[in-house]
A and B are shown apart, each in its own frame.
Chain A
Amino acid sequence: MLTLTRKIGQKIFIGNGIEIVVREIRGRQVRLGIQAPEGLPVFREELYDNLAESNRQAQSTLDRERATMLPEP
């Protein structure tokens, strides 16, 4: 993993369209500003993990026989 040191107000660019700036450091918390192409998903880790777990559960628990018999809505 690439690790960079930045000060408040300094930025990181990812590719051509993503800009991350350190806005504020307060104790153990860092506020980041993120500018990305419109609609590009940007997730907090917790939200991404929740989505990934929900997807994994949908796949790993799939009862295909039951799925073929669910009534149409």
Chain B
Amino acid sequence: MLIPIAILGVVLIYVWFIYNGLITARLRVSEAFSQIDVQLKRRTDLIPNLVETVKGYAKHEKELFEKVTAERANLMSANGANEKAKANDGLSNALKSLFAVAENYPTLKASENFQKLQDELSDTENKIAYSRQFYNSNVLDYNTKLTIFPNVLFANLFAFKPSEFFGVDEGDKKPVKVSF
């Protein structure tokens, strides 16, 4: 009588530990994600200012401003790691062409305000890269915990789902084609 109860107790405690471990890992992932969000927010906040500054020197580059503004709106409305990563890449591309155009306007390039904004943006981009690195290592940790045995048994039971990585390289996502 006692022995089955003892075994059951041990198993329950074991499950409890696995459950707590998974919860902790998942919390770390969402905390790391909010770190990325902070930096993305900072980036989107800088952009109206930048657009205004560039407009003062290069009025007729309308198309470019519209593209940057659209990409910014796109990033602000994006949800989830995958979508946000894509929107962020889109914004990066639009900004890249904006800065390329700015090269043609020496007075703009020399403007103190523009230089400051450029500096802040590149700092924010670095911070996004680092927060992404932290987030992805947490996701890797959590997803590994979900898939190893015996955790995998309880992960399904308690409906734990693997998290998305933030911005995996395009090459990694494509299925490998094998041709004979």
A and B are partners in one complex rather than unrelated chains = no
